[in-house]
Every structure is written in structure tokens, then in C-alpha cells.
Amino acid sequence: MSGQATGWVLRHGPRDRALRLVLLTIADAANRDGECARPGMGAIIEGALYSEGHCRRAIAKLETEGWLEETERPGPGKVAEFRLPGVTADNAAHSARRSDTNAAQTPRKRRANAAHPDARRSDSPTFLLETDNGLRTTRDLALPDPIAELCNYLADHIAHYREDPDARPAISSTWLRDMRLLVERGAARRNKPTPIAPQVVRRCIDFVFGELAIPEGRGRFCWATNIRSPGALRDHWDQLADESRKRQRLALVDPLDEAVS
């Protein structure tokens, strides 16, 4: 799973919703450089919530437009391997900038960084949080990565839907608490805890800001406008699952959820 690759797609990916959902699903299986993505057609269909024919046409168009490259064709017992050239290029440019910055550092600062390697590690995501004591980072608070990643994933989708990076909501302690409750206890107002796997939560977020992002009905209701936090996602989980079933897509129900319900 690569939050860096999916984040790049959310910031720079195609505007067409169908193409974006397919590309997001493939990016989710890539490494941090956008390479070695082998999700398999079944996973792409499940993640994008489209038919096999639709997904294959979307992949062909993504390759034609340069968003995607097939680096290994599927063979007997194998699945296709993809890379996202935009992610690779973006990371290469970022590495070059970091190299220039490091070269400009004074020997004293280089020695300080070497003495405290944890201060410059980038192998785990860091997010800025609002706490009672002011702004802190996830590393400062030693928060579990999966919950913070899901909050970050939802915040990126909200900002992209509003088409305003400045509208990206801050990941507060309330966000983290509600997202943890969704993963560990499931939808609100249930008699028994029904945990929901993080990958199912990600699929639901993609569904809300993909297929449910267009206002429908008499009052022009739009789910993407109303899901503004993990709390709202948890409160309306069952309704969103019903919407998924109505559209004859894969229901937002995890095997773990079914086992305890």
C-alpha cells in the first residue's frame, strides 16, 4: 500500500472520475515510487467498483494518456505489473532537491542530523494534527499509522472534491478517535461491535467521492458534500452500504463484519 502514490493521484491525476478510481486502485498497490504495482484485475474491479470491461478500457486509456505504464504483461499464473511514471518523476525531482539542500548544509548541521537519524526519517507518514497543546505531528504523539493514514486519505479526498487545497480539513484528535471507532467497532448505533478493515474504509471513501460525488434526486442531494469527517462516515456507514448495493456494486461489507453480525 502506498499513500505516496495514491496521494499523487489525488493531487495530479486525471479529472475523469472513472479513470481516477481505476488509477487510485492501481496506485494503492504500488510502492512509494509508483512502481511494481500488481493488483490483479479482480482487485482493480473490487477497488474501482466497475465492471471488468470498463476497467480494461480505463487502463488502456490511462496508458494512452501517459498516466500508466505496463512494465510486465500477464502470463500463465501471473498478473500484469504497472508503474505510474508521474510518481517516479515527482520522487526523483524531490530527491534531487533534497540532495541540493543536504549539500548546502553546514558540516555542523550534517553532524547533528547524523547523531539524530530519527529526526529525518521518511519511511513512515507524518501528519500535522490539532491537539489541546497546539499543533503536533504523528511522530511526536506516536500514533498508529493505519488510523492516521485513513484520516489523511479522507482529508485529501475532501480537499480534492472542493477543488481547493486550502480547504483540506485538519486532522484533529476527534478525527483520529472517530476513525479508530469506525475501524475497531464499525458503524455507529450497533448493538455489537462490527470491526471494518482499513481497506474497506478506503473503498468506501473512494465510493463516496467517486460515484456519490454527483448530486442526485429531487433535492439534489450529494453524499460527497455531507461526508466531512470520520464521524459522518461512521454515522452514515449503513446508508452508504445500501447505496452501494442499490448500484449493484460490491457491498461495503468486510468478511469480519459478516462474521459477527
Q: Lowest-confidence range among 14-18, 35-39, 103-107?
A: 103-107
pLDDT computed for residue 103 by the predictor: 57
Distance CA 151, CA 138 (A): 12
Q: Are residues 154 and 73 in the same domain?
A: no
Distance CA 1, CA 14 (A): 20
Distance CA 21, CA 113 (A): 40
Q: Are residues 198 and 108 in the same domain?
A: no
pTM to 2 decimal places:
0.44
Q: Are residues 249 and 219 in the same domain?
A: yes
Q: Are residues 1 and 110 in the same domain?
A: yes
Select from 60, 95, 123 the last residue of a domain.
123
SS3 187: coil
Residues 62/85, Cβ–Cβ less than 8 Å: no
pLDDT value at 220 more than 80: no
Q: Which among 24, 26, 25 has a CA at the least distance from the CA of 12?
A: 24
Q: Are residues 154 and 207 in the same domain?
A: yes
Q: Are residues 118 and 1 in the same domain?
A: yes
Residue 129 resides in a domain: no
Query: Chain centroid to CA 115: how far?
Result: 34
Q: What is the pLDDT of residues 20-32, one digit of tens each?
A: 999 999 988 888 8
Q: Are residues 225 and 161 in the same domain?
A: yes
Distance CA 72, CA 61 (A): 17
Residue 9 resides in a domain: yes
pLDDT computed for residue 141 by the predictor: 46
pLDDT computed for residue 179 by the predictor: 92
Select from 90, 123, 156 the last residue of a domain.
123
Task: Name, in order, each residue with C-beta under 8 angstroms of 6's C-beta and a sequence gap of 6 or more.
Answer: 24, 27, 28, 153
Select from 92, 123, 154 the last residue of a domain.
123
Distance CA 44, CA 56 (A): 9
Strand partners, 134: 131
Query: Residue 191, class by beta-carbon neighbours within 10 Å (0-12 exposed, 13-18 middle, 19+ buried)?
Result: exposed
Residue 53 resides in a domain: yes
Q: Are residues 13 and 102 in the same domain?
A: yes
Q: What is the CATH number of the domain that holds 91?
A: 1.10.10.10
Distance CA 207, CA 230 (A): 15
Residue 134 resides in a domain: no
Q: Are residues 189 and 217 in the same domain?
A: yes
Q: Kindly state the cell numbers that stand for 52.
A: 471488468
Q: What percent of the chain has pLDDT over 70?
A: 72
Q: Are residues 74 and 40 in the same domain?
A: yes
Residues 125/150, Cβ–Cβ less than 8 Å: no
Confidence band, pLDDT 50/70/90 cuts, at residue 190: confident
Residue 150 resides in a domain: yes
Residue 5 resides in a domain: yes
Q: Are residues 154 and 66 in the same domain?
A: no
pLDDT value at 72 more than 90: no
Distance CA 221, CA 33 (A): 38
Distance CA 71, CA 80 (A): 8
- Average confidence score pLDDT of the chain: 77
pLDDT computed for residue 2 by the predictor: 56
Residue 56 resides in a domain: yes
Q: What is the pLDDT of residues 30-69, one digit of tens each?
A: 888 888 888 889 999 988 889 999 999 999 999 888 889 8
Confidence band, pLDDT 50/70/90 cuts, at residue 201: very high
The total of structural domains in the chain comes to 2
Q: Are residues 230 and 117 in the same domain?
A: no
State the residue range of the domain holding 33.
1-123
Q: When comparing pLDDT for 101 and 92, which is higher?
A: 92
Residue 131 resides in a domain: no
H helix or E strand, kind and range, residue 81? strand 81-83
Q: How far is CA 72 from CA 30, 36, 227, in A?
A: 14, 9, 38
pLDDT computed for residue 87 by the predictor: 83
